[in-house]
Amino acid sequence: MTESPMPASELLEIADALLPGHSLDTAQVTQGNLHHVVLLPGTAAVRVSKRPSSAEAMPRRMEALREIGKAGLPFAVPEPLTPVTRFGERAAVAVSWVGGEAQPEGQGDPDRIGKLLRAVREVTVTPRLRQLLYAPREKGWAEILAEEVVPRLPDRWRDECRRRLEAARTLEAVPDALVHGDLGGSNVHWSRDGELVGVLDWDQAHLFDPAIDAALMAWHGWDTIRAAVDPETYRRARVYDAPFGVGHLVGVLDGRPLTNVEGYVRSIVAWLEENA
């Protein structure tokens, strides 16, 4: 289902309703995969659902965020500041501001990236967190892709992607750990001197192989990831990335239904062609 467009003026009205008395003079409107976002620098980020499925999932995601925030991570995690509030078919919530800024693509210190990846995968998965997060190993994630995606690929890619997917499916299982699901890029904030400040946008968090997050951090370059993690994690990260690109893979691993399979396949084909 394609989300309906939402004017910036309406998004600002929602931000004002959630955070009355806060100036919107410096507000910036942006968007991610699941939400529109109103940034109030130094104060908060207001997240507004794009689709009904995102609206329905927002309370659970915010509860998971609170549970992750209790884990004592050595960096900031956004904290929900308001209840999840409905505005018609939309849901919205304000979360705390996390300072710092993203590093440019292809740059990053392997030691600091390795510490980030270790900190996330070592979070204790409490019984409540296990209730709140999707566990794709229990849901036949590879079978979904083999049945719904691979048959729709162009002939030249079908057999190769089926082989790559089977290699990922048959990796020796490791214990499920917390996986952020969207590490890299603008979701990881660093200080000007390169210290990790915080990690944003845990909406795609799930319980699976931590090598997924290592593959996502290849935003900083695969050579950097090779130096940041142990050889086995690096190998697994490359295997998970190979079928469709790990960013596409997470679209199934995080539990979201494939509502626009044709669009998903087009994006995968573009990735395959680019990385041929």
Same domain, residue pair 240 and 123:
yes
Residue 72, sorted as left (phi over 0), alpha (psi -120 to 50) or beta, turns out to be left
User: If phi over 0 gives left and psi between -120 and 50 gives alpha, with beta otherwise, what is residue 122?
Assistant: alpha
- The full DSSP string for 2-51 is PPPP--HHHHHHHHHHHSTT---TT-EEEE-SSEEEEEETTTEEEEEESS
84/126 same-domain check: no
The pTM for the full model equals 0.95
Q: How many domains are there within the chain?
A: 2
Nearest to 106 by CA among 200, 183, 188, 184: 184
The CA distance from 216 to 71, in Å, is 22
What is the structure's pLDDT at 276? 85
Helix (H, G, I), strand (E, B) or coil at 86: strand
How far the first Cα of the chain sits from its last, in Å, is 30
Residue 128's nearest CA partner among 173, 178, 78, 55 is: 178
In a domain, 101, yes or no: no
* Identity at 83, one-letter amino acid code: P
pLDDT tens, N- to C-terminus, the chain (276 residues):
445 578 999 999 999 999 999 999 999 999 988 899 999 999 999 999 999 999 999 999 999 999 999 999 999 999 999 999 999 999 999 999 999 999 999 999 999 999 999 999 999 999 999 999 999 988 889 999 999 999 999 999 999 999 999 999 999 999 999 999 999 889 999 999 999 999 999 999 999 999 999 999 999 999 999 999 999 999 999 999 999 999 999 999 998 888 889 999 999 999 999 998
Same domain, 176 and 88: no
Residue 3: the pLDDT is: 53
Are 64 and 142 part of one and the same domain? no
pLDDT for 258 = 85
Chain position carrying tokens 């994006």: 267
Q: Return the half-sphere exposure (C-beta side, CA atoms, 13 A cut-off) of residue 232.
A: 6
Provide the CATH number for the domain around residue 12.
Answer: 3.30.200.20
**Is residue 62 included in any domain, yes or no?**
yes
Output the DSSP codes for 249-275.
HHHHHT----S-HHHHHHHHHHHHHHT
Distance (Å, whole) CA 204 – CA 236: 20
**Domain hosting residue 55, numbered range:** 8-96
Are residues 150 and 173 part of one domain? yes
